[in-house]
A and B are shown apart, each in its own frame.
Chain A
Amino acid sequence: MEEQGKVRLIVVGGGTAGWMTAAALIKLLPGRCDVHLVESEAIGIVGVGEATLPHLRSFNERLGIDEAEFMAGTRATFKLGIEFRDWGRIGDGYIHPFGTFGRGSGDIDFHHYWTRLYRDSGEAPPIGDYSMAVVMAYLNRFRLPDPDPARLESTFSYAYQFDATLFAPFLRRLSEGTGARRTEGRIVDVELDGESGDIKAIRLESGERIEGDLFVDCSGFVSLLLGKALGEPFEDWSQWLLCDRAVAMPCRTRTALTPYTSAIAMESGWRWRIPLQHRTGNGYVYSSEFISDEEARQALVSSVEGEPIAEPRVLKFKAGRRRRSWVANCIGVGLSSGFLEPLESTSIYLIQAAITSLIELFPNPDISPADRDEFNRLIDMEYDRIRDFLILHYHATERSDTPFWDYVRTMQVPDSLKEKMELFRERGRVAKYREGVFLDASWIAVYVGQGVIPEGYDLRAGLPGSAALRQAMEALRSEVRTTAQAMPDHLTHIEHYCPMEAAAA
């Protein structure tokens, strides 16, 4: 074995992806790389992903970020899950919780008992009634989870809803304090090595030329290095994920600060509602094939609560990903490597997954193909699983009231998803994996919430007598409710724990 030299790492772009990358590498690989971030304030950031998944907490912890300080600084609220309204059928609603159904322990998954109750009597309370995270969310309660796995209060997790435009500056302060260099300027040219195909340097409008060993492309949709300079093809998934536009408009609102994000199905897409401490983010994600920008704008304006803070702004995108995220000496992190609509808050998760894999496989100055291939394998796996999970939301519907919903209801879905759905429908089995995002409870929530109810259940769930089962289920349901009711109100918890500065309000 030999000692490795320091890698000159150039991060291109200073949005959420760029500063998350810079902050993590400087903190975790201080001896291995010099981090130099190049951004142009003139370009601005998309600031997607106001809603996050619980994984972000471990990212922040690893970076030594104090939770309360982070939440106050990004005006964050707590998030116990995502509410879906009108997806399976108009009028239906459910929450995809960050937590389990039932106690999450025992030999047999809880939803088998629920299925039995439902199948035996043709009706059952919503499965969410047996989930701490769901009941807390609907009751607007919050408290940090209990570490004791024996307690019901340990069966949920949480994420944040925050102002993404404040997260990058927060991380920038952290990174610049620990040694990251930052250069302001617009990139006008990317210099490739004719022989190896590697990126040698980038050139700025000012004429400055910046050389590097490894380039991380955080330039957003434009995909300056990975897409433009290296020409990595884009794999288009819009045949399944039709939405290609969003119109966004924040509002000031005094309505309840919900500890969850809402995704409300609309005529030709869906609308998000993300409550932060100082405002509520709103947006309509739609397919331009089915609705015009103007109609979408009007639909959004007429459905939001509270006083608008800004004019509606339209964003364009396409679902899919670059075939490979790591090509030559360039790694795409964030939107430069692919885009999936924010339906399940995966944007920041995908950034984090790329950074985690990059750290795990951080190369030497002479990049080994084994590292690159493994990185791409891991990122592919994440993208593919999220893709299927997102498609499920559209496909598992009875809606045929608009051309959009009728199309997605009847479209051909990937075989991998078709098999997963059949398996669940048969006997409530969830295709198992332990690594990656969205484990069993997430799939169960969406299946059941959108009307994919198993025909059968685990044989062992049939063992208890009917009356005993009914009684035990009812006892659990009432315990969940009582436990949630005893928790503080979400807003009260925030005011106590992580209030934003008064000036920001």
Chain B
Amino acid sequence: MSGAPAMGSVAVAGGGLTAWSAAAALKRRIPSLDVTVVTMPVPPNALADRMISTLPSIHGFHRDIGLTDEDTIVRARSGVRLGTLFDGWVEGLPDYVHAYDPYGAPIEGISFHQLWLRERREAALPPFDRYSRAAEMGRSGKPPNRTDDTFEFGLQFSLHLYGEMMRAYALHLGVAERRGPILDIELRASGNGIERLVMDDGGSVSADLFVDCTGPRALIRSRLKSDFTDWSQWLRCDRLIMADAPPAADLEVMDRATAASFGWQWRASSPEQTSIGLAYSSTHVREEALARELVPLGIAAASDAVALHQGRWGDLWSGNCVAVGDAAVAVEPLEWTNLHLAHSQIDRIIAMMPGKDCAAVELGEFNRQCAAEADRVRDFLCLHYVCSRRSEPFWKDAAAVAPPDSLAHTLSQFAERGRLPFHEEETFARDSWLAVTLGQGFEPRHTDPLAGLVTPASAQQALRTMRHSLDRPSPAIPTESLIDLNPRGAR
């Protein structure tokens, strides 16, 4: 029972920005902790450490640990991203934008999408994403107006600068650094916890809590309970090829996710670099086709593919070891959730920090919340495949798979009348779900009966007004001052 002594020391294993972010957050928000980062090289499939694109939730993480836009955008030379352009996911449909700003606005209290769906049966209307200010701006290639501080946007990292910034910040807060490699991991005699990390230099690292940020191999967490849940039946991409290129000549405020014949490819750009890559299924790939896919990406055909096994640990936290980021949940970089999940797990560790004894009842609630969140992210990624329509075998298989129960429930509710049932621990807002379902042409059979309260005339009028308001030219700002954005959320 919690007369148990308080958690005193934490060892964070991992050398990438996930580990340094975890360490900085722990030290800053619970200063009484002794925090040590045990560093090691970042494996190629640790995506939270390697992807440059982030979700808007990163601003909250920064705010909570006392970092300002000055630190994370200006000095770390981050770009701004308004969303992702999805191209080719459904044959015969135009590309669509998933942005984080609202799509349309409720009309007389009724959801925008319901009235858009209803009125579109009467007369041709612009696509759903043409009602999103952020999506429009993303397509125009213009960054948001600096006076416009209500925008939801993510960041595009200049990866090494951001990583350095986070490391420097953690060290400044008093986090200790211990260089690896780790030679051995000693378990407690009981077998249900970690005793210490035996280091290469003959020393060792002991701690009350071990935070595993070592990427999908989960160097430490994998030594405890083996309860890895496999997601590959739903998320079939098990290989990644990625490369860095110079930054785009004109800053890009949207990244791209383009369907390929046996997977999908991305392209994202920050002021310092462009990240390109291909995620694909090794069972569907054909070598000569792979080489062809890589040419336009500018990646050498001989590039090494990195393996990715999608899924999560049953209990992210087991004994005195908690897995974070790719060590906890391994998913493809679609929708850039890897770092977001890491941040969310770090936040939960802090908010739900148990006693030194890691009582089962406390870990249980932590694990329940983390699992619900991860599963819902899985559902959202799976949604892209289930709603895809392409003729290649990879895509036919992806669309044909029976979705996880929680996604099947959402899909059946949506199919009926465009309703998106509430889920606890949901990462993506309703408008995100709508952007993907409607962007990929998955439409409900009926409209919401409540929509009947709005007359066709007033619905059409409101739709026109919304569309027109987005046609007003928005004053663009020179790209140089992009990083001089009005500090957002900084306090």
A residues lining the B interface (CB < 8 Å):
1-2, 4, 28-32, 107, 359-362, 364, 368, 370-371, 374, 419, 422-423, 425-427, 429, 431-435, 454-456, 458-460, 462-463
Report yes or no: B369 in contact with A359, Cβ–Cβ below 8 A: no
For B254-291 the 0/1 string (1 means CB < 8 A from A) is 00000000000000000000000000000000000000
Complex Cα distance, B415 from A426, in Å, reads 43
For B18-49 the 0/1 string (1 means CB < 8 A from A) is 00000000000111100000000000000000
Q: Which residues of A contact B4 (CB under 8 A)?
A: 456
Nearest Cβ distance between residue B443 and chain A, in whole angstroms?
A: 7
Complex Cα distance, B447 from A4, in Å, reads 9
Q: Among B3, B352, B365, find the residue whose CB has the most chain A CB atoms closer than 10 A.
A: B365
Q: Among B352, B419, B449, find the residue whose CB has the most chain A CB atoms closer than 10 A.
A: B449
Report yes or no: A459 in contact with B449, Cβ–Cβ below 8 A: no
The answer, among A429, A458, A459, for a CB contact under 8 Å with B365, is: A429
Q: Which residues of A contact B415 (CB under 8 A)?
A: 370
- What are 13 A-B pairs at a CB distance below 8 A? A1-B117, A1-B445, A107-B29, A359-B449, A374-B419, A426-B1, A427-B2, A429-B365, A455-B1, A458-B351, A459-B353, A460-B350, A460-B353
Which stretch of B165-173, B302-310, B354-362 is in the interface? B354-362
Known A1-B121, A28-B453, A456-B3; contact A419-B30, beta-carbon cutoff 8 A: no
Complex Cα distance, B296 from A316, in Å, reads 77
Report yes or no: B419 in contact with A360, Cβ–Cβ below 8 A: yes
Nearest Cβ distance between residue A58 and chain B, in whole angstroms?
A: 12
- Closest 10 interchain pairs by CB? A456-B2, A455-B2, A31-B452, A362-B449, A32-B449, A422-B361, A459-B353, A370-B416, A370-B412, A455-B1
The answer, among B365, B416, B447, for a CB contact under 8 Å with A371, is: B416
Nearest Cβ distance between residue B470 and chain A, in whole angstroms?
A: 26
Which range contains the number of B residues in contact with the other chain?
35 or more
Interface of chain B residues 402 through 422 with chain A (CB within 8 A)? 412-413, 415-417, 419, 421-422
Known A1-B117, A455-B2, A456-B2; contact A359-B450, beta-carbon cutoff 8 A: yes
Complex Cα distance, B445 from A31, in Å, reads 18
Report yes or no: A433 in contact with B424, Cβ–Cβ below 8 A: yes
Nearest Cβ distance between residue B252 and chain A, in whole angstroms?
A: 35
Complex Cα distance, B110 from A28, in Å, reads 11
Report yes or no: B424 in contact with A4, Cβ–Cβ below 8 A: no
Name which residue of chain B comes closest to A7, CB basis: B449
Complex Cα distance, B352 from A2, in Å, reads 49
Q: Which residues of A contact B6 (CB under 8 A)?
A: 459, 462
Known A374-B421, A454-B2; contact A419-B361, beta-carbon cutoff 8 A: yes
Q: Which residues of A contact B32 (CB under 8 A)?
A: 459, 462-463
Query: Is B446 in the interface zone, CB < 8 Å from A?
Result: yes
Interface of chain B residues 434 through 466 with chain A (CB within 8 A)? 443-450, 452-453
Report yes or no: A459 in contact with B30, Cβ–Cβ below 8 A: yes
Nearest Cβ distance between residue A481 and chain B, in whole angstroms?
A: 30
The answer, among B7, B117, B419, for a CB contact under 8 Å with A459, is: B7
Q: Which residues of A contact B30 (CB under 8 A)?
A: 459-460, 463
Complex Cα distance, B417 from A371, in Å, reads 9
Q: Which residues of A contact B369 (CB under 8 A)?
A: 432
Given contacts A459-B6, A459-B32, 14 further A-B contacts (CB under 8 A): A1-B445, A2-B445, A29-B449, A30-B452, A107-B29, A359-B450, A370-B412, A422-B361, A423-B362, A455-B1, A459-B7, A462-B32, A463-B30, A463-B32
Complex Cα distance, B416 from A275, in Å, reads 46
Nearest Cβ distance between residue A447 and chain B, in whole angstroms?
A: 14
Nearest Cβ distance between residue B357 and chain A, in whole angstroms?
A: 10
Q: Which residues of B contact A361 (CB under 8 A)?
A: 417, 419
Nearest Cβ distance between residue A52 and chain B, in whole angstroms?
A: 23
Name which residue of chain B comes closest to A371, CB basis: B416
Nearest Cβ distance between residue A214 and chain B, in whole angstroms?
A: 12
Report yes or no: A1 in contact with B443, Cβ–Cβ below 8 A: yes
Nearest Cβ distance between residue B177 and chain A, in whole angstroms?
A: 23
Query: Is B364 in the interface zone, CB < 8 Å from A?
Result: yes
Known A370-B412, A427-B2, A455-B3; contact A32-B424, beta-carbon cutoff 8 A: no
Report yes or no: B449 in contact with A429, Cβ–Cβ below 8 A: no
Complex Cα distance, B455 from A32, in Å, reads 13
Complex Cα distance, B447 from A426, in Å, reads 47
Q: Which residues of B contact A2 (CB under 8 A)?
A: 445-446
Name which residue of chain A comes closest to B452, CB basis: A31
Q: Which residues of A contact B7 (CB under 8 A)?
A: 459
Nearest Cβ distance between residue A238 and chain B, in whole angstroms?
A: 29
The answer, among A364, A419, A460, for a CB contact under 8 Å with B446, is: A364
Q: Which residues of A contact B450 (CB under 8 A)?
A: 28-29, 359-360, 362
Complex Cα distance, B3 from A427, in Å, reads 9
Nearest Cβ distance between residue A467 and chain B, in whole angstroms?
A: 18
Nearest Cβ distance between residue A307 and chain B, in whole angstroms?
A: 47
Complex Cα distance, B298 from A381, in Å, reads 53
Nearest Cβ distance between residue A38 and chain B, in whole angstroms?
A: 23
The answer, among A29, A432, A463, for a CB contact under 8 Å with B424, is: A432
Name which residue of chain A comes closest to B361, CB basis: A422
Nearest Cβ distance between residue A204 and chain B, in whole angstroms?
A: 29
Q: Which residues of A contact B364 (CB under 8 A)?
A: 419, 423
Report yes or no: A32 in contact with B121, Cβ–Cβ below 8 A: no
Report yes or no: A427 in contact with B354, Cβ–Cβ below 8 A: yes
Report yes or no: A456 in contact with B446, Cβ–Cβ below 8 A: no
Complex Cα distance, B365 from A359, in Å, reads 33
Report yes or no: A434 in contact with B424, Cβ–Cβ below 8 A: yes
Name which residue of chain A comes closest to B453, CB basis: A28
Complex Cα distance, B453 from A29, in Å, reads 7
The answer, among B353, B443, B445, for a CB contact under 8 Å with A458, is: B353
Q: Which residues of A contact B121 (CB under 8 A)?
A: 1
Report yes or no: A368 in contact with B2, Cβ–Cβ below 8 A: no
Nearest Cβ distance between residue B414 and chain A, in whole angstroms?
A: 10
Report yes or no: B446 in contact with A431, Cβ–Cβ below 8 A: no
Name which residue of chain B comes closest to A428, CB basis: B2
Known A28-B450, A28-B453; contact A463-B365, beta-carbon cutoff 8 A: no
Complex Cα distance, B1 from A460, in Å, reads 18
Q: Which residues of B contact A360 (CB under 8 A)?
A: 419, 448, 450
Q: Which residues of B contact A371 (CB under 8 A)?
A: 416-417
Nearest Cβ distance between residue B359 and chain A, in whole angstroms?
A: 6
Nearest Cβ distance between residue A378 and chain B, in whole angstroms?
A: 8
Nearest Cβ distance between residue B283 and chain A, in whole angstroms?
A: 33
Q: Which residues of A contact B353 (CB under 8 A)?
A: 458-460
Q: Which residues of A contact B365 (CB under 8 A)?
A: 423, 429, 431-432
Report yes or no: A429 in contact with B446, Cβ–Cβ below 8 A: no
The answer, among A362, A429, A435, A462, for a CB contact under 8 Å with B362, is: A429
Q: Which residues of A contact B359 (CB under 8 A)?
A: 426
Complex Cα distance, B417 from A29, in Å, reads 15
Q: Which residues of B contact A31 (CB under 8 A)?
A: 452-453
Q: Which residues of B contact A30 (CB under 8 A)?
A: 452-453
The answer, among A1, A107, A426, A460, for a CB contact under 8 Å with B361, is: A426
Report yes or no: B355 in contact with A427, Cβ–Cβ below 8 A: yes
Report yes or no: B447 in contact with A435, Cβ–Cβ below 8 A: no
Name which residue of chain B comes closest to A364, CB basis: B446
Report yes or no: A456 in contact with B355, Cβ–Cβ below 8 A: yes
Nearest Cβ distance between residue A331 and chain B, in whole angstroms?
A: 15
